[in-house]
């Protein structure tokens, strides 16, 4: 009798363990399965669009070349004597963006590099509702310039979820839209 | 620091409750919480296995990446699709067990002292797991891959380390080239190889590191991943299109939990969060309260270089080296690597020279832990025993990391706490039984969850009649006079019940033997540290 009761107890315990394990394994499956792809994340609302203002433009040289004076030349070793001193430092690039007359973005980007002799990189995300806008863009790439060196005025239409990449073609000195 | 300690205690209570619950269901050795590190290795193996299959079909190009993954998912769903799902879900499971592993080791305070190396080397593994996982999502090149690629580079660009923003590589569809996919595929594989190396370094200072989970658990978790792969196959989202904003994305929260923060905080805020977590993880072992544990010391005159302490040390803290004292018989000697030693005393328990006193000789051992040495153990045991007034004297040996023995509300037992129960030499048990104790009861951390990793395994082997390779309890000592119960911190009541059962069994055993023990004829006890204290050998 005792042994039979023991066996029954063991069996009940075993069933409890199997059920318990099934529960925990199901919990593991549910946890992994759910958080592997849920809850969904709304990065941007469906009626939104994005302007990416991104380019890599080199500002003009900050200072013009100048001829070394005779005294300066004489102070240098013979093998280091050159006619002109051309500082490598470039001007910072100033960018301004207005949408429907409202200032959206304005930044002065310093040239990269320890000697500030590299280009000025820009990468900026601007989220807007889809629709038509009047876009004003301006850029100044020389410290001596009053006002802006390059400008764009025009109308743009942004579709829902569209990404409009606004760049700058340094060869033709104009803003580009992709 | 007070907040940290409170968190640690609260976490410990939570883990202990969960572990007890799972211990009933899975039994101790299959308890998933005791195999979190091993499960991490196991999931990594599944990831590698399934990844190799995916690699065979994967074409690293703008169009091919999405197409080949899609082909595997839909056209070859019966194997390729399952492999893809296993690859993904095993990666998620890896993050889950890794996070639990970190939290658990933190709450159990298993990261200080000599354990700093294992803790700190886990951090590169953590970084590599996340890097490899996130790059893996790029390879699919769906809207999720696009989102991760763009946001990750934008996040990296926040640091002023690039002369040109790397996010510009994802401006338009024409910005991305086939070469890019080849590079990230190589990166994905290379990081996985580095990860394996990092995992090996992580367990370098752990002897007998368990890198595969118990079979039942391995089968169970694999079946779970397989069922999940069949019921909810991992599928791609829409093909990536850099001219479109990925609006609603089904992100993998195990890897991408921080990405929404980039949108709601700022990139700098997320960098600050990462920096705080990094610094905390890296410097946690040195934050107060510091506990300086003594380092084991080899007593050369009693060391034969038998290597048993080397084998039993859980921390690779003992090595064998050529003899330095010119001993005529022994060619090797044990030496302690101080940086790895945590002062657990398991080596003392393993040393065959850890012998009880003979004649006027004091207790001896070949390796000992200062401040908790074998003399201290002997004195504590004798004093505890002397204080007992009951007929049946039970001496309970426990560890500093199990149930607090001092607070045990149980009569007629004397308690002695050790850094680890395995620090108790087997010969010592026989000695105490001959010199006053009617029964010896051992307790410590839960089975499979020893604070010093292997303590309760060694104790069981030393008590067992089957394992004769290490110092063991002599066969002639009746095992009815010895009991053990492995208990978690909050297992006070089950422990008391176990001791109670042991006491009753001891009564029955004594009654059956008419109160006579065969050791009664053994020599009388001897001095304790110079003071001649007679511990009665009379029983009952």
8 A C-beta contact, residue B349 and residue B377: no
- Are A1 and A58 part of one and the same domain? no
Name chain A contacts of B88, Cβ cutoff 8 Å. Answer: 36
Q: Is the pLDDT of residue B408 over 80?
A: no
Q: What is the pLDDT along chain A (178 residues), one digit of tens a residue?
A: 445 555 666 788 888 889 999 999 999 999 999 999 999 999 999 899 999 999 888 888 888 888 888 888 888 898 888 888 888 889 999 999 999 999 999 999 999 888 888 889 999 999 999 999 999 999 998 888 888 889 999 999 999 999 999 999 988 888 999 8
For residue A116, give the CATH number of its domain.
Answer: 2.60.40
Report the residue from A20, A42, A52 with minimal CB separation from B247: A42
Which pLDDT value is given to residue B538? 33
Distance CA B72, CA B60 (A): 14
- Say if A114 is an interface residue toward chain B (CB within 8 Å): no
Q: Which of B235, B247, B253 to probe the A interface (max A CBs under 10 A)?
A: B247
Torsion of CA A125, A131, A135, A141, to 10 degrees: 20
With 0-12 / 13-18 / 19 or more C-beta atoms within 10 angstroms meaning exposed / middle / buried, residue B300 is middle
Query: ipTM score here?
Result: 0.85
Which pLDDT value is given to residue B534? 32
Q: Residue with structure tokens 């959206």?
A: A104
The beta strand positions in chain A, using DSSP E, are 41-42, 48-57, 66-67, 84-85, 93-99, 102-109, 120-129, 131-140, 150-158, 163-169, 174-177
A54/B168 touch (CB, cutoff 8 Å), yes or no: yes
Closest residue of A to B249, CA-based?
A: A41
- Are A119 and A143 part of one and the same domain? yes
Report the residue from B26, B92, B263 with minimal CB separation from A32: B92
Distance CA B75, CA B81 (A): 8
Q: Are strands A84-85 and A120-129 parallel, antiparallel or unpaired?
A: unpaired
What is the tens place of the pLDDT at every residue in B484-504? 999 888 888 889 999 989 988
User: What's the CATH class of domain B2-13+31-286?
Assistant: mainly alpha
Average the pLDDT over each of A67-76, B119-128, B221-230 and give the range with the smallest value.
A67-76
Closest residue of B to A15, CA-based?
A: B25
A162/B89 touch (CB, cutoff 8 Å), yes or no: no
Name chain A contacts of B133, Cβ cutoff 8 Å. Answer: none
- pLDDT-derived band at B388, boundaries 50, 70, 90: confident
The mean pLDDT of B307-332, rounded to a whole number, is 92
- Are A173 and A129 part of one and the same domain? yes
- Are A16 and A99 part of one and the same domain? no
Which pLDDT value is given to residue B361? 64
- Are A1 and A52 part of one and the same domain? no
**Residue A165, domain member (yes or no):** yes
The mean pLDDT of B304-321, rounded to a whole number, is 93
8 A C-beta contact, residue B446 and residue B435: no
* CA nearest to B292, candidates B112, B110, B434, B33: B112
Q: Please provide the average confidence, as pLDDT, over all residues in chain B.
A: 87
Distance CA B79, CA A1 (A): 52
Q: String of b and e for B42-77 (b: at least 16 CB within 10 Å)? A: bbbebbbebbebbeeebbbbbebbbebbbbbbeeeb
B231/A46 touch (CB, cutoff 8 Å), yes or no: no
B263/A24 touch (CB, cutoff 8 Å), yes or no: no
Q: Is the pLDDT of residue B364 over 90?
A: no
8 A C-beta contact, residue B35 and residue B210: yes
Which pLDDT value is given to residue B79? 94
What is the tens place of the pLDDT at every residue in B261-281? 998 898 999 999 999 999 999
Which pLDDT value is given to residue A94? 93
B96/A121 touch (CB, cutoff 8 Å), yes or no: no
Closest residue of B to A118, CA-based?
A: B163
Report the residue from A21, A42, A123 with minimal CB separation from B167: A123
Report the residue from B32, B227, B246 with minimal CB separation from A29: B227
**Residue A9, domain member (yes or no):** yes
Distance CA B116, CA B106 (A): 11
**Residue A117, domain member (yes or no):** yes
Min distance A22 CA to chain B CA atoms (Å): 9
- Say if A110 is an interface residue toward chain B (CB within 8 Å): no
Q: Is 0.90 surpassed by the pTM of this model? A: no
Distance CA B331, CA B475 (A): 31
Which pLDDT value is given to residue B533? 32
Which pLDDT value is given to residue B528? 27
- pLDDT-derived band at B294, boundaries 50, 70, 90: confident
How many structural domains does chain A have?
2
- Are A16 and A104 part of one and the same domain? no
What is the tens place of the pLDDT at every residue in B161-201? 887 889 988 999 998 999 999 999 999 999 999 999 999 99
Residues above pLDDT 90, as percent of chain B:
55
Distance CA B465, CA B442 (A): 17
Distance CA B383, CA B533 (A): 10
A17/B27 touch (CB, cutoff 8 Å), yes or no: yes
Which pLDDT value is given to residue B354? 85
Q: How many CA atoms lie within 13 A of B332 on its CB side?
A: 12
Stretch 6-45 of chain A: residues touching chain B, C-beta under 8 Å: 16-17, 20-21, 23-25, 28-29, 31-33, 35-38, 40-45
Q: Is the pLDDT of residue B292 over 80?
A: no
Q: Domain ranges in chain B?
A: 2-13+31-286, 297-521
**Residue A111, domain member (yes or no):** yes
- Are A36 and A52 part of one and the same domain? no
**Residue A168, domain member (yes or no):** yes
A42/B245 touch (CB, cutoff 8 Å), yes or no: no
Q: Is the pLDDT of residue B523 over 50?
A: no
Which pLDDT value is given to residue B299? 92
A43/B249 touch (CB, cutoff 8 Å), yes or no: yes
Q: Provide the domain limits for residue A5.
A: 1-40
B247/A33 touch (CB, cutoff 8 Å), yes or no: no
DSSP string, B20-53: HHHHHHH-GGG-GGGGHHHHHHHHHHHHHHHHHH
What is the tens place of the pLDDT at every residue in B237-257? 999 999 999 989 999 999 999
**Residue A69, domain member (yes or no):** no
Q: Residue with structure tokens 């939990």?
A: B257
């Amino acid at each position: 009798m005792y042994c039979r009761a023991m066996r029954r107890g063991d069996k009940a315990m075993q069933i409890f363990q199997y059920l318990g394990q099934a529960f925990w394994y199901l919990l593991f499956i549910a946890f992994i399965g759910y958080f592997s792809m849920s809850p969904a994340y709304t990065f941007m609302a469906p009626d939104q669009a994005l302007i990416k203002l991104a380019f890599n433009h080199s500002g003009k040289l900050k200072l013009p070349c100048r001829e070394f004076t005779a005294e300066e030349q004489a102070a240098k070793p013979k093998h280091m004597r050159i006619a002109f001193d051309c500082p490598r430092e470039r001007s910072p690039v100033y960018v301004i963006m207005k949408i429907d007359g409202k200032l959206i973005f304005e930044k002065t980007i310093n040239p990269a590099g320890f000697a500030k002799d590299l280009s000025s990189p820009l990468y900026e995300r601007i989220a807007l509702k889809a629709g038509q806008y009047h876009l004003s863009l301006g850029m100044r790439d020389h410290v001596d310039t009053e006002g802006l060196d390059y400008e764009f005025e025009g109308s743009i239409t942004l579709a829902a979820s569209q990404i409009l990449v606004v760049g700058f073609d340094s060869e033709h000195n104009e803003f580009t839209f992709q | 620091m007070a907040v940290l300690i409170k968190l640690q205690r609260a976490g410990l209570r939570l883990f202990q409750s969960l572990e007890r619950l799972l211990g009933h269901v899975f039994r101790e050795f299959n308890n998933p919480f005791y195999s979190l590190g091993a499960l991490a290795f196991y999931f990594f193996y599944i990831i590698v296995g399934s990844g190799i299959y995916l690699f065979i079909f994967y074409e690293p190009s703008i169009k091919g990446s999405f197409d080949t993954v899609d082909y595997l998912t839909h056209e070859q769903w019966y194997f390729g699709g399952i492999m893809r799902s296993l690859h993904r879900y095993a990666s998620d499971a890896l993050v889950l067990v890794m996070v639990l592993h970190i939290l658990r080791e933190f709450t159990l305070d298993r990261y200080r002292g000599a354990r700093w190396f294992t803790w700190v080397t886990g951090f590169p593994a953590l970084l590599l797991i996340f890097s490899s996982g996130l790059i893996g999502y790029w390879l699919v090149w769906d809207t999720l891959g696009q989102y991760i690629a763009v946001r990750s580079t934008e996040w990296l660009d926040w640091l002023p380390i690039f002369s040109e923003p790397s996010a510009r590589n994802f401006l338009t569809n024409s910005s991305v080239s086939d070469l890019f996919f080849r590079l990230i595929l190589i990166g994905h594989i290379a990081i996985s190889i580095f990860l394996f190396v990092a995992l090996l370094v992580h367990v370098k200072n752990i002897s007998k590191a368990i890198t595969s989970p118990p079979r039942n658990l391995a089968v169970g978790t694999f079946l779970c991943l397989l069922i999940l792969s069949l019921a909810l196959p991992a599928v791609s989202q829409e093909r990536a299109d850099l001219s479109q904003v990925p609006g609603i994305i089904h992100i993998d929260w195990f890897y991408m939990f921080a990405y929404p923060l980039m949108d709601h905080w700022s990139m700098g805020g997320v960098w600050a969060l990462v920096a705080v977590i990094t610094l905390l993880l890296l410097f946690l072992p040195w934050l107060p309260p510091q506990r300086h544990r003594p380092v084991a010391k080899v007593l050369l005159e009693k060391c034969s270089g038998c290597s048993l302490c080397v084998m039993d040390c859980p921390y690779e803290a003992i090595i064998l080296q050529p003899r330095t004292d010119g001993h005529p018989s022994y060619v090797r000697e044990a030496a302690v690597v101080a940086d790895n030693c945590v002062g657990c005393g398991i080596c003392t328990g393993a040393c065959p020279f850890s012998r009880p006193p003979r004649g006027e000789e004091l207790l001896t051992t070949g390796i000992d832990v200062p401040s908790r040495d074998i003399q201290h153990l002997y004195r504590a045991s004798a004093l505890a025993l002397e204080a007992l007034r009951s007929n049946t004297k039970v001496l309970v040996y426990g560890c500093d990391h199990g149930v607090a023995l001092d607070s045990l509300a149980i009569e007629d037992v004397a308690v002695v706490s050790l850094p680890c129960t395995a620090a108790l030499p087997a010969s010592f048990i026989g000695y105490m039984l001959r010199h006053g104790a009617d029964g010896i009861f051992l307790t410590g951390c839960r089975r499979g969850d020893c604070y010093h990793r292997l303590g309760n395994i060694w104790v069981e082997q030393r008590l067992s009649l089957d394992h004769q390779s290490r110092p063991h309890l002599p066969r002639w000592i009746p095992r009815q006079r010895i009991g053990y119960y492995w208990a978690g911190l909050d297992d006070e009541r089950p422990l008391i019940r176990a001791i109670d059962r042991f006491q009753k069994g001891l009564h029955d055993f004594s009654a059956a033997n008419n109160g006579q023990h065969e050791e009664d004829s053994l020599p009388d006890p001897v001095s304790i540290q110079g003071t001649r204290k007679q511990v009665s050998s009379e029983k009952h």
